[in-house]
Amino acid sequence: MTERTFLDAQKAVIEDFAMNKNKREREFYSLDVGDSTFTVLKRYQNLRPIGSGAQGIVCSAYDQNLERNVAIKKLSRPFQNQTHAKRAYRELVLMKCVNHKNIIGLLNVFTPQKSLEEFQDVYLVMELMDANLCQVIQMELDHERLSYLLYQTLCGIKHLHAAGIIHRDLKPSNIVVKSDCTLKILDFGLARTAATGLLMTPYVVTRYYRAPEVILGMGYQANVDIWSVGCILAEMVRHKILFPGRDYIDQWNKVIEQLGTPSQDFLMKLNQSVRTYVENRPRYAGYSFEKLFPDVLFPADSDHNKLKASQARDLLSKMLVIDASKRISVDEALQHPYINVWYDPAEVEALATLFCH
């Protein structure tokens, strides 16, 4: 090869590289969203912030390729430490694999960075919903909507359980709905090995919905998630957080003040140091569910609504049971008269194997 052709070849490679780089850069554009900058593919237009969580900011956008609105979540510095990296990885893998209409679906994933060395930001593109349950809790819902939202939450949970995922951290901010009353669960909860107390983020973690077995560091089974659903139903009825503890200790106080000190056979399941603490709390008799959730909280203006109110209260009394061995299971909850009006085997028993592609 002459020197001339060698130089030409080199130039061609560099040009090609630069062209590609330019092309790649042309595919993305940046805009400021709050304190953050979103650098997204050009197909995503009209970005507007719609929420933020422990992992980052979420925007709505219009996807020109799919011709529909989507939600884009920018994971904030997912590789800043192992906890964040593991969480991001787990969320991505599970979102990609779990396929159920009551679990949020992943439409696309991208990074604007061009090489592994520069790789820093991850953007998840999801189906767009209208609001989270925190917003819905403020509303006066009729029994039909209330029970339908619960039914869908239980279908989503059942599907997660069947795929081997026990959530343990369901809360209203992680459940999203559309105005047609369809509902999806947004995340996959606590990883089995999560260093939950050590998450290095200024973001305040909400613990109001965590079950006694999580608060007290006991073993848990699938119906740990039923407790959270009970807390959410209670909040939808009361329009107030059921157990608004300042921390785990205060939260345990709120639980026993309302539901009463648990029985001796529950205390025997606790490890020694926790048991000593629990035994040394003041004793509370608790209140009946009629007192905790009186008729005035429910729409009860007709015989039908009165019946529904008593069914909802009965369901609450079976979900909000401190001892998990005496708490209703997900399957039993789906069969409960307040819920089973919606029962559709195709939704409840949807194929639960994980399909990863």
Nearer to ligand AMP, 50 or 292 (CB): 50
| Residues forming a β-bridge with 60 | 48, 71
Pairing of β 106-110 and β 122-127: antiparallel
CA separation for the pair 104, 310 (Å, rounded):
32
Using alpha carbons, select from 320, 313, 310 the residue that is nearest to residue 256: 320
78: Cα separation from own chain's centroid: 18
- Name the one range near ligand AMP by CB under 6 A: 46-54, 77-85, 263-271, 343-351: 46-54
Helices and strands in the chain, H and E counts: 13, 10
Contact status: 61 vs ligand AMP (CB under 6 A): no
- Name the one range near ligand AMP by CB under 6 A: 124-132, 151-159, 260-268, 281-289: 124-132
Helix (H, G, I), strand (E, B), or coil: what is residue 224? helix
Helix (H, G, I), strand (E, B), or coil: what is residue 123? strand
Out of 33, 59, 94, 128, point to the residue binding ligand AMP (CB under 6 A).
128
Contact status: 55 vs ligand AMP (CB under 6 A): yes
With tokens 């991850």, the residue in question is 122
Measured at the CA of 294, the angle between CA 289 and CA 297, to 5 degrees, comes to 125
Nearer to ligand AMP, 187 or 213 (CB): 187
Contact status: 58 vs ligand AMP (CB under 6 A): yes
Out of 125, 129, 256, 292, point to the residue binding ligand AMP (CB under 6 A).
129
User: Which one is catalytic: 169, 265, 301, 323?
Assistant: 169
- Catalytic residue at 247? no
Contact status: 104 vs ligand AMP (CB under 6 A): yes
Number of residues in contact with ligand AMP under rule CB under 6 A: 19
Phi/psi at 163 (nearest 5 deg)? -90, 5
Contact status: 33 vs ligand AMP (CB under 6 A): no
Contact status: 51 vs ligand AMP (CB under 6 A): yes
Contact status: 228 vs ligand AMP (CB under 6 A): no
Catalytic residues: 169
